[in-house]
Amino acid sequence: MHIALREIVNSAGRLIAMLAVLLALAGCTTTAVVAPAVKPLVSEKYAAIVIDANTEQVLYEEASNVPRHPASLTKMMTLYLLFEALDSGRLNPLSQIPVSAYAASRPPSKIGLRAGQSIDINTAILSLCVKSANDVATAVAEYLAGSEEQFAKMMTAKARQLDMRSTIFRNASGLPDPEQITTAHDMALLAMALHKRFPHHYHYFSNRSFSYAGKTIEGHNDLLGRVDGVDGLKTGYIRASGYNLATSAGRGGRRVVAIVMGGETAKARDAHMEELIETYLSRGAPI
């Protein structure tokens, strides 16, 4: 009788253990973040996130809410405000943006504007998306807000509207400023907002080159045309940030937005971004 009782207790224990395992597995299906299958870059500046653009589920993240410097990812917000001005009628496609001496003096990357020149809206947008031109970013800021300082306040206010709670902008270009900070998570929110809010302007981000003043100006985003489904957005680099990249990619109804910050080289950053896309795009939810 004692043996029979012991067997019953043991069987009950095994059943409870099995139930615990099943409950744990069931709980895993509601977790927002999938356990990383991609190793993070070895860099103290590294941060990354991959988000399913259809469901806004986080598929991968590392240090995604740790403060980082945006570098030229900043220009995504400059473009956001420029697109808003176009859509509101404040600007039109024929508008000309004047170039101040201050804007012309901004360091590279730039297209070499001179003080007193003007630039048309289409060329300005391409210069920001493709060349990441700092002279153009400042000219746009001054035209829309009167000064770059005032424009940076507009950028930060718009960031709060987009729920980018950890971002502060101090200039329109991403040139070094210790107070200009963001996170990978915030940059992903901005990238998704650009795609959702301005689908009619989004094609600009997929350009790999454009013509200006009789020259062909090549872009910096080497994933365009190389990785299937990649259609933008922006590269960035300053010493304080390392090599940054915001990418949107879609295949078969699935779409992800991915941010990589703090790469030691552009090549390492690009390879890591490609690995993230190839790993997590297939895990997204199709529309």
127 labelled catalytic: no
Catalytic residue among 45, 75, 158, 234: 75
Count CA atoms within 13 Å of residue 259 on its CB side. Answer: 34
- Kindly calculate the radius of gyration of the chain based on its CA atoms and give it in whole angstroms: 23
Quickly tell me which residue has 């895993």 as its tokens: 28
**Do 188 and 259 touch, CB atoms closer than 8 A?**
yes
Sign of CA dihedral 87, 91, 92, 96: negative
Spatial contact of 121 and 95, defined as CB atoms under 8 Å apart: yes
**Bridge partner list, 232:** 248
Contacts of 90 (CB under 8 A, 6+ apart): none
Q: Which of 64, 72, 100, 241 is catalytic?
A: 72
Neighbours of 55 (CB within 10 A): 13
The number of residues in the chain equals: 287
Task: Pick the catalytic residue from 64, 109, 127, 132.
Answer: 132
Does 132 qualify as catalytic in the annotation?
A: yes
Of 198, 174, 175, 168, residue with least CA distance to 81: 198
282 tagged catalytic: no
Please give the Cα distance from 143 to 122 (Å, whole number): 15
> Helix H segments across the chain?
2-28, 75-88, 101-104, 121-126, 134-145, 148-161, 184-197, 266-280
* Residues with catalytic roles: 72, 75, 132
